[in-house]
Amino acid sequence: MTQDSTLQQKIQEAEATLNELRKKLDEERKGERMQVIASAKELIKTHELTAADLGLSGKGSSIKRPVGDKRGMVAAKYQDHESGKTWTGRGKSPAWLAAQLAAGYSKDDFLIKT
Protein backbone atom coordinates (compact mmCIF):
# COMPACT_ATOMS: atom_id res chain seq x y z
CA MET A 1 0.00 0.00 0.00
CA THR A 2 2.94 2.37 0.45
CA GLN A 3 3.72 2.18 -3.25
CA ASP A 4 0.17 3.31 -4.06
CA SER A 5 0.35 6.24 -1.67
CA THR A 6 3.80 7.23 -2.96
CA LEU A 7 2.58 7.05 -6.53
CA GLN A 8 -0.52 9.06 -5.63
CA GLN A 9 1.66 11.69 -3.95
CA LYS A 10 3.91 11.94 -7.02
CA ILE A 11 0.85 12.38 -9.23
CA GLN A 12 -0.45 15.17 -7.00
CA GLU A 13 2.95 16.89 -7.03
CA ALA A 14 3.11 16.63 -10.83
CA GLU A 15 -0.41 18.08 -11.14
CA ALA A 16 0.52 20.95 -8.82
CA THR A 17 3.65 21.67 -10.89
CA LEU A 18 1.60 21.53 -14.08
CA ASN A 19 -0.94 23.99 -12.66
CA GLU A 20 1.85 26.39 -11.65
CA LEU A 21 3.36 26.19 -15.14
CA ARG A 22 -0.04 26.86 -16.72
CA LYS A 23 -0.48 29.95 -14.53
CA LYS A 24 2.97 31.24 -15.51
CA LEU A 25 2.21 30.63 -19.19
CA ASP A 26 -1.10 32.50 -18.90
CA GLU A 27 0.64 35.45 -17.23
CA GLU A 28 3.30 35.55 -19.96
CA ARG A 29 0.64 35.45 -22.67
CA LYS A 30 -1.26 38.28 -21.01
CA GLY A 31 1.93 40.34 -20.88
CA GLU A 32 2.70 39.66 -24.53
CA ARG A 33 -0.87 40.47 -25.47
CA MET A 34 -0.71 43.81 -23.67
CA GLN A 35 2.52 44.66 -25.51
CA VAL A 36 1.00 43.72 -28.87
CA ILE A 37 -2.11 45.81 -28.16
CA ALA A 38 0.03 48.80 -27.18
CA SER A 39 2.12 48.42 -30.36
CA ALA A 40 -0.98 48.12 -32.52
CA LYS A 41 -2.54 51.21 -30.94
CA GLU A 42 0.65 53.17 -31.55
CA LEU A 43 0.79 52.09 -35.20
CA ILE A 44 -2.89 52.97 -35.68
CA LYS A 45 -2.30 56.38 -34.15
CA THR A 46 0.90 57.02 -36.10
CA HIS A 47 -0.59 56.09 -39.46
CA GLU A 48 -4.03 57.56 -38.68
CA LEU A 49 -5.80 54.32 -39.54
CA THR A 50 -9.55 53.86 -39.19
CA ALA A 51 -11.59 50.76 -38.43
CA ALA A 52 -12.61 50.65 -42.09
CA ASP A 53 -8.93 50.71 -43.13
CA LEU A 54 -8.40 47.62 -41.03
CA GLY A 55 -11.52 45.86 -42.29
CA LEU A 56 -13.26 46.32 -38.95
CA SER A 57 -16.18 48.46 -40.07
CA GLY A 58 -18.68 46.07 -38.49
CA LYS A 59 -20.88 46.02 -41.57
CA GLY A 60 -20.89 42.32 -42.33
CA SER A 61 -18.12 40.25 -43.70
CA SER A 62 -15.29 41.77 -45.64
CA ILE A 63 -15.19 38.61 -47.77
CA LYS A 64 -16.25 39.30 -51.34
CA ARG A 65 -18.53 36.91 -53.18
CA PRO A 66 -17.19 35.24 -56.30
CA VAL A 67 -18.17 36.90 -59.58
CA GLY A 68 -20.43 34.05 -60.72
CA ASP A 69 -22.26 33.77 -57.41
CA LYS A 70 -25.96 33.31 -58.14
CA ARG A 71 -27.06 34.79 -54.82
CA GLY A 72 -27.91 38.34 -55.70
CA MET A 73 -29.02 41.37 -53.83
CA VAL A 74 -32.74 41.52 -53.12
CA ALA A 75 -34.54 44.61 -54.33
CA ALA A 76 -36.30 46.75 -51.75
CA LYS A 77 -40.03 46.11 -51.55
CA TYR A 78 -41.11 48.77 -49.04
CA GLN A 79 -40.05 52.39 -48.58
CA ASP A 80 -40.70 54.97 -45.89
CA HIS A 81 -41.93 58.04 -47.74
CA GLU A 82 -40.65 60.43 -45.06
CA SER A 83 -37.12 59.21 -44.51
CA GLY A 84 -36.53 57.28 -47.73
CA LYS A 85 -35.45 54.17 -45.80
CA THR A 86 -36.21 50.86 -47.49
CA TRP A 87 -36.84 47.25 -46.53
CA THR A 88 -36.72 44.12 -48.69
CA GLY A 89 -39.57 42.44 -46.86
CA ARG A 90 -37.25 39.77 -45.49
CA GLY A 91 -36.40 39.30 -41.85
CA LYS A 92 -37.69 41.36 -38.96
CA SER A 93 -39.55 44.47 -40.07
CA PRO A 94 -37.69 47.71 -39.37
CA ALA A 95 -38.67 50.12 -36.63
CA TRP A 96 -39.96 52.74 -39.05
CA LEU A 97 -42.42 50.26 -40.55
CA ALA A 98 -43.50 48.89 -37.17
CA ALA A 99 -44.23 52.43 -36.00
CA GLN A 100 -46.29 53.16 -39.11
CA LEU A 101 -48.25 49.91 -38.74
CA ALA A 102 -48.97 50.79 -35.11
CA ALA A 103 -50.23 54.17 -36.30
CA GLY A 104 -52.85 52.44 -38.46
CA TYR A 105 -51.16 52.21 -41.86
CA SER A 106 -50.86 48.93 -43.76
CA LYS A 107 -47.80 47.46 -45.43
CA ASP A 108 -49.41 48.07 -48.80
CA ASP A 109 -49.17 51.81 -48.17
CA PHE A 110 -45.37 51.51 -48.31
CA LEU A 111 -44.99 49.20 -51.32
CA ILE A 112 -42.54 50.47 -53.89
CA LYS A 113 -44.37 50.67 -57.19
CA THR A 114 -42.23 49.72 -60.13
Per-residue pLDDT of the chain (114 residues; tens, 9 = 90+): 688 889 999 999 999 999 999 999 999 999 999 999 999 999 988 988 888 788 776 655 556 666 666 667 788 899 998 888 999 999 999 999 999 999 999 999 999 987
Query: How far is the C-alpha of 81 from the C-alpha of 109, rounded, in Å?
Result: 10
Other beta carbons within 10 Å of 97: 21
pTM here is 0.40
Main-chain dihedrals φ then ψ at residue 113, nearest 5 degrees? -90, 125
Q: Closest Cα to residue 78, out of 105, 109, 101, 100?
A: 109
